Amino acid sequence: MNYFKCGAFSPFKYYLFFIVVNVTCSFTTHAVEANKQLTLATTKWCPYTCAEKGYEANIIGKYVTELLEKHNIMVNVQSYPWARAVHFAEINEVDGLLTATPAEAPNLSFTTTPIANFHVCFYTHKTSDWQYQSPLQLDNLTLGVIKGYGYQDEIDKYISLHSKSERIVSLSGNQGLIRLISILKKQRVDIIVEDKLVMNWQAKTNNIDLTDIKNAGCTTPQPFYLALNVKAPQSKALIELLDIELARQENQQKLQQLIEQYAF
């Protein structure tokens, strides 16, 4: 169909559309041009974020760096225990968080478009008969988690409700997951939760024997985002730029290819 001839899209409208899009893109690029460096905090959540290993096991760090460097924005990723990373972002010690969910840092400004999805699974000792079902029912079983992590709504609500009881074992630090796996194998905790890709990566790279551990079911995939402190320079313009880049199909395909490299 000839849209110009039929009047659905006249030459004048086409020209006007081109001008509007061009100006909008130019404005967005110009709005963040002065911000040459973006400092983002993260934690050791390999292989999604593992800053100390550089690009080797830092999927999201590599991805976001490549998205922004073409806009002349350099990304500086700093790794901390998760609770500290969130705190630094909230007090504007850093510009924001490389990956987060709104439940983890409700005071920050999030991209509308998620970076990717994570897939939280429950792990038990092989002798356990417990199996995950929604709504979550743990009875009197103990749940091992990483302090400050956001997992999934019903899990987060359960953790919040029982945070001061013996039902929740909360660990912190960059070795949190390795320690959780250790106490699960020793049956000092009944269940732990973690993203499936992260669990498999930790086991493979640290030569952890998971023979005594079984997957007891997974939740539906959950999105995670990039978050900025509203006081960070040009945070609004950066969020808008990131939303545009994260929504591009070619960028999403690139990210999927990166993730598949670690799908053990």
Tokens of 233: 């320079």
Q: Rounded distance, CA 72 to CA 123, Å?
A: 43
Residue 33: pLDDT over 90: no
Count Cβ neighbours within 10 Å for each residue of 179-215 and write b for 16 or more, e otherwise: bbbeebbeeebbbbbbbbbbbbbbbebeebebeebee
Q: Which amino acid is at 167?
A: R
**pLDDT at site 263:** 67
As beta bridge partners, residue 146 has 171
Q: Rounded distance, CA 49 to CA 177, Å?
A: 14
Query: Hey, CA dihedral for 241, 247, 252, 253, is it positive or negative?
Result: negative
pLDDT confidence tier of residue 194, bands split at 50, 70 and 90: very high
Residue 101: pLDDT over 60: yes
Q: Rounded distance, CA 233 to CA 231, Å?
A: 6
Residue 158 near residue 134, CB atoms below 8 Å: no
Question: Hey, where are the domains in the chain?
Answer: 32-116+224-260, 120-220
Query: Hey, CA dihedral for 166, 182, 80, 57, is it positive or negative?
Result: negative
Do 32-116+224-260 and 120-220 show the same overall fold? yes
Residue percentage of the chain with pLDDT more than 70: 84
What phi and psi, each to the nearest 5 degrees, are found at residue 181?
-60, -40
- Domain covering 32-116+224-260, topology: D-Maltodextrin-Binding Protein; domain 2 (3.40.190)
0.85 exceeded by pTM: no
Q: Rounded distance, CA 8 to CA 18, Å?
A: 16
- Distance (Å) of CA 91 to CA 104, 151, 224: 15, 23, 21
Q: For residue range 48-73, what is the model confidence (pLDDT) as tens digits? A: 998 776 655 689 999 999 999 999 99
Average pLDDT value for residue range 136-154 = 93
Task: Return the CATH class of domain 120-220.
Answer: alpha beta
**pLDDT at site 54:** 60
